Amino acid sequence: MLFAARPLRSLPRLVGRRALSTNNYAPFPDKLAFAFDIDGVLKQGKFILPQAKRVMKMLTGEDGQLPRPVPFLLITNGGGVVDSERVKLLSRDLGVELNENQLVQSHTPLKPAMADYADKVVLCIGGPKDAARKIAESYGLRKAVLPHDILHWNRSIWDRYKFGPADEEIVRHDVNFTTTPVSAIFVLHDSWDWGRDLTIINELMQSEGGLLGTIGKPHRVTFEFAESMLRRRVKELRGADQDLNVYMIGDNPLSDIWGANNFGWDSILLRTGVYQGGEPSHIPTAICDDVELAVDWAFKNERLRMAKEE
């Protein structure tokens, strides 16, 4: 089969190296402006490209080549640092004086939206330690909270996280999440603990009006819903509703056992997960080595109850 030759598209013109000069800038292009990526354009890792320094000096007018400065800004998907701090570092690296209006980090576009939440409790996620709170406060938020604050209030939300001295230093203690709703969630940079942060986000998204403690173990609403589902299943299997003795089998004293005890269920704590021994923070009906032994124990316990009721 024969194919007709198609004309080649013109290739982009390749420009070689040359020293910057004002010779080609007359008349001056008044509508010209620039937006620069940072990594891979002005920097390679920590190395500042010398070409970048020359361009910055020309566009700012510091080298005298242009009759007036050319507007430009820097755009990056990076973040996790307060804009003013990042601008200060970039000014040092590039050898020119930049201001905050010339930098767009990943979270900078959120700044206008944050104005509506200046005096509301807002969860801020991203970056190391309390970087997210510092960023939020620099944008005008006065009640920014971190995942650390929520976990310090109720560690059962994500019991895998172990608090250290550095965590205690950044926790704020003036917010009661039982009565104070979280009005919004801002993800300002990459999370340093996605498991923790997604768990908290999910808890808030399913809550009533942003109030923590309204859904999930150990909270009562979850156990009420679970029992209603059990009763529905019993009716499907047996054709009629009946009283139940429910055994909660779990590995976490702070959620499984606490919640079951408060709701009036029996609770069996296993050693195959979070709990590994010692006196648990909430005492279960029984402690077993694994789920099979727990189920066996529950059967035996129910038989004893039946015998006593006869």
**Residue ranges per structural domain of the chain:** 32-106, 109-205, 220-309
* Model confidence pLDDT, tens digit, residues 83-97: 999 999 999 999 999
Residues composing the chain? 310
The per-residue pLDDT for 1 is 33
Compute the Cα dihedral for 112, 113, 116, 119 and give only its sign: negative
The per-residue pLDDT for 166 is 84
Contacts of 174 (CB under 8 A, 6+ apart): none
* Model confidence pLDDT, tens digit, residues 97-150: 998 888 888 888 888 888 899 999 999 999 889 999 999 999 999 999 999 999
Would 109-205 and 220-309 be classified into the same CATH topology? yes
Model-wide pTM > 0.75: no
Provide the token pair at 222: 């979850």
Q: Which residue has the tokens 């999440």?
A: 177
Domain 32-106, CATH class in plain words: alpha beta
Best CATH choice for the domain 220-309 from the list 3.30.9.40, 3.40.50.1000, 3.40.50.920, 3.60.9.10: 3.40.50.1000
The CATH number of the structural domain formed by 109-205 is 3.40.50.1000
The per-residue pLDDT for 261 is 94
The per-residue pLDDT for 190 is 87
The per-residue pLDDT for 2 is 32
- Taking 70 as the pLDDT cut, the residues of the chain under it are 1-27, 210-217
